[in-house]
Structure formats: C-alpha cells, structure tokens
Amino acid sequence: MSKLVTIPFCKPDFGTVERTYLERVMQCGKLEGGGEFNRANEAWLESNCQCSRAMITPSCTAALEMMTLIFDIQPGDEVIMPGFTFVSTANAVALRGGVPVFVDIDPVTLNIDPAKAEAAISSRTRAIMVVHYAGVGCDLGAFLDICERHDLLLLEDAAQGVGAKWDGRPLGSFGSLGALSFHHTKNITCGEGGALLINDAKLAAVAEKVQDKGTDRAEFRRGTRAKYEWMTLGSSFLLSELAAGVLLAQLEAAESRTLQRLKVWNRYDVEFSGLSEILTPQIPDQAEHNGHIYHLRLPSFELREALVAYCRQAGIVAASHYVPLHDTPGGRKFGKASGSMQQTTLASDTLIRLPIYNNMTDEEQDFVISHVSKFLDQAGLR
C-alpha cells in the first residue's frame, strides 16, 4: 500500500539562525520579556513598519486588547469592524464592555466595505477597526477620510499583513495603532507572538504602562522613577525572550521568506485564475500583498464542502475560513450587525484556503494543484 501524502495547511520554516539565537537566550539566562531580543525586534519593526514605536506582545490578540485599554473603551462604546474576521478583533472590544458593530465586506477584496462602515456610524461610535484580509490592504484612503470627517479613531488589525503595503506604506502604519501577528499560521512566526504598532507618539507613555501590568515600571528602569507603582489598567503583555529570539531570526529573513511565499501564491494564481465558475483573489492596484492566503470561492456551500472532503481524503489540508461573527452565539450576545451581511455570509459559505507556506516544494504544490484540478474537472467547473 502506498504511503498517503500529507500536505499540511501551513508549515513554519525554522533554521540554524533561530537555533543560534535560542542558544544565546539560554546562555544569558534571561528568559522573561523585555530583553535584548525583544528590543531588537521592536527596532526592526519601527524601521520596517514606519511606526513611531513598536511593542512586542504575546499575541496579536494581546495587542488588540492593549488598543482598547489605551483608548479606555467604555461600556456601550461602539467599534465598527468587519463580520468576516477572527474573534480576537471583537473580543478586544467586548472585554471592555464595548459593542463590536459588524458590517459587510467588499465582495472583491473581502475587506471591510467603506460605505457600509460609514453607514453604521452612530453617536456611540468611537473607532473603526479595519482588518486587512489575507495581507491585502483595505481602502485606507477612504477610511482615513471617514474617520477624519466623523472624528473617529482608525485602528488596524494587520494580523495577516507583515510585509504587505498600501500605496507604498506598510500595513499597520495608517491608524493611530496597528496590530501584527506572529502566530504559527503566519508568514513570519515564533509560534505565538504579536506586536502593537504605535503611530501616534503621544500614546507611547500609556502603552508602556498597559503593557507592564498597568505600572510605570518602564520609567523606573530608565531611572526616572525611584519606585514603580500601579498607575492604570493593564496586564502582562510581554513576549518571552525565547520566542523573541526565534522571531528576530524570522524578521531578519522576512524579505526572502515573503518572496518564497509569493512564488507559491503566484503559481496557484496562474493555475486557477480565469475559470468562469471560480473566484480567486483580486489584488487592488494600490496593494502590495504578502501571499498570506490563496483562496478559491466555489459556486456553492455544497461544492466547497465537497472539495474540502476530497482534499482531506487525499491527505491535503485545505480549510474554510471564518464563521461570520454576527452569526455566532458570542456575536449575538456581545455585538450587533449593521445592515445586510450578504457578502460576509457568502464568503464564509464558499471560500476554501489552499495549503501555502514559504518552503512549499514544487512537488507538494503539484500534488495540491493536480487534486484540486481533478475535482474541478469532475464537477464541471473548469
């Protein structure tokens, strides 16, 4: 019996530099956050993400929660966001007693629709949280205009956006604050991990306190306080030095890793674009994406589920994506939908993500392409 070929959905690419940096951390004996590698990561991000200040966090979830603490989101405050996103985007608001307001997405980019977001603004709205789906930037010019006209905060959930840009500027550098993810599934990873990008320099002082349990310990370490004490609400939002060592090695190779991933993404796009029954990713002219996700949208939920099952039987891990937040028990309890969510529901029902990772071999991708193509042929979709 032949051995079943298994193609994972994602596969982190770790090498000798990661191991070298881990050994350096172990030798110095400082494993907690705030050390040499944390500072080096923050310097890299400040340079490459064009932000005033970067803070490494245990996750993107933590960075999003920091945002709502920094801006003191209060019970009843509304934050507009897409319904097609991960639960952390909404949780960060709901944990403060705020109300996530879910709006529909653009059917082409699958990013939050500017017109739908503006229509959802009320007297309780504090901010718009944009999410750059698949590392493809939202229409940031439109959102900056909306926020300026309505005196709202613009926040960026750029979890999938490391290395991607809009109009030549890095994602995460447009809003007052941005958040990145270095989770296992991301292009650049240390297993967990994230970053808060601070673009409004006036927010750095309060962000320091929020990150370190609500204390002014950062000032104490700099010698500007004789002792540190509890100043505001906060939590332990520090990344361990072990994870930071792995992350620095990944960031230092970010450009080459992104090019590797884009090569895989582009080959999928050559194979599957132009099929009349299949929708593939569409990249706006202003967007420079990072190849984070390659997805197909099939004509129906039933065909999508059949393709997922067909791939699984062949040993290929292909996956659907978000359950629309407005249609979940948590979303109904803690948030609310504004307007029609038709495109969000349609994307959730019909989208399948194909395996993609930086070091995917030609043979692995051949295997995926051949099986997906065979399914599409049998279903009369090619």
Set out the domains of the chain in order of their start, with CATH numbers: 16-252 (3.40.640.10), 254-378 (3.90.1150.10)
This prediction has a pTM of 0.95
Helix axes 301-314, 342-350, angle to 10 degrees: 30
Residue 2: the pLDDT is: 46
Query: Burial, 2: exposed, middle or buried (Cβ in 10 Å; 0-12, 13-18, 19+)?
Result: exposed
Rounded to 5°, angle at Cα 262 from 256 and 268: 150
Query: What tokens appear for 342 in the block?
Result: 């038709």
Residue 197: the pLDDT is: 98
- CB 207 within 8 Å of CB 53: yes
Return per-residue pLDDT of the chain as tens, 382 residues.
345 658 999 999 999 999 999 999 999 988 988 899 999 999 999 999 999 999 999 999 999 999 999 999 999 999 999 999 999 999 999 999 999 999 999 999 999 999 999 999 999 999 999 999 999 999 999 999 999 999 999 999 999 999 999 999 999 999 999 999 999 999 999 999 999 999 999 999 999 999 999 999 999 988 899 999 999 999 999 999 999 999 999 999 999 999 999 999 999 999 999 898 999 999 999 999 999 999 999 999 999 999 999 999 999 999 999 999 999 999 999 999 999 999 999 999 999 999 999 999 999 999 999 999 999 999 999 7
Query: Burial, 379: exposed, middle or buried (Cβ in 10 Å; 0-12, 13-18, 19+)?
Result: middle
Distance CA 141, CA 175 (A): 11
Residue 51: the pLDDT is: 97
- CB 336 within 8 Å of CB 322: no
- Which residues, at least 6 apart from 276, have a Cβ–Cβ distance to it below 8 Å? none
Residue 30: the pLDDT is: 87
Residue 4: the pLDDT is: 60
What DSSP assignment string belongs to 286-342?
A: TEE------EEE-SSHHHHHHHHHHHHHHTB--B--PPPGGGSHHHHHH-EE-S--H
Residue 122: the pLDDT is: 98
Residue 276: the pLDDT is: 87
Query: What tokens appear for 140 in the block?
Result: 């940031």
Distance CA 238, CA 62 (A): 9
Residue 1: the pLDDT is: 38
